């Protein structure tokens, strides 16, 4: 596991009315602080990435459909520099993934429907000076291929 990445297995409570899952609580051991929460989506097969942040932590969870969330550690002083983590998260595997500052991340919609991702971040987005550093999803120095892997 990449240094600083944390995974929380989400408990989903079901009854005849529907489902409930707590994503993140202020008393969770992985909680740092609250900045804002937003929702983003990906259509089937679409890759959204790569980027990293210098200050903020991200807490990713997929609440509809499925995504492949991929992390890459390029941090110079990290014990896990060069490591890649893949997580398949969503309706069939409800997880919350904490991504520390400096770790590249991106995701791909892997279900037959639009995937909906909820992201809680520790810093409010600043449009004038965004804490967001992007590279092309396919042409970059990250040793990862987004193609499906039929093992």
- Residue 151 has a pLDDT of 82
- Which regions of the chain are under pLDDT 70? none
Q: How far apart are CA 11 and CA 43, in angstroms?
A: 26
- Residue 149 has a pLDDT of 86
- Residue 121 has a pLDDT of 98
* CATH 2.60.120.10, domain 6-13+21-125, yes or no: yes
Neighbours of 108 (CB within 10 A): 21
Angstrom CA distances, 139 to 31, 49, 70, 144, stand at 33, 11, 16, 10
Q: How far apart are CA 36 and CA 33, in angstroms?
A: 10
DSSP string covering the chain:
--TT-EEEEPPEEEETTEEEE----TTSTT-----EEEEEEE-TT-EEEEEE-SS--EEEEEEESEEEEEEEE--TT-TTTT-EEEEEEETTB-EEEEE-TTEEEEEEE-SSS-EEEEEEESS---TTS---EE--SSSSS-----S----
pTM recorded for the entire structure: 0.95
């Amino acid at each position: 596991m990449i240094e600083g990445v944390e995974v929380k297995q989400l408990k989903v409570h079901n009854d005849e009315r529907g489902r409930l899952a707590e994503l993140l609580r202020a008393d969770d051991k992985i909680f740092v602080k609250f900045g804002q929460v937003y929702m983003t989506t990906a259509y089937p097969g679409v890759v959204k990435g790569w980027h990293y942040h210098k200050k903020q932590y991200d807490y990713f969870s997929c609440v509809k459909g499925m995504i492949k969330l991929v992390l890459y550690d390029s941090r110079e002083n990290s014990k896990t520099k060069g490591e890649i983590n893949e997580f398949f998260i969503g309706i069939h595997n409800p997880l919350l993934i904490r991504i520390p500052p400096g770790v590249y991340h991106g995701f791909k919609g892997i279900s037959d429907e639009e995937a909906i991702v909820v992201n809680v971040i520790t810093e409010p987005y600043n449009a004038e000076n965004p804490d967001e550093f992007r590279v092309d999803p396919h042409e970059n120095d990250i040793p990862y291929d987004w193609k499906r892997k039929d093992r």
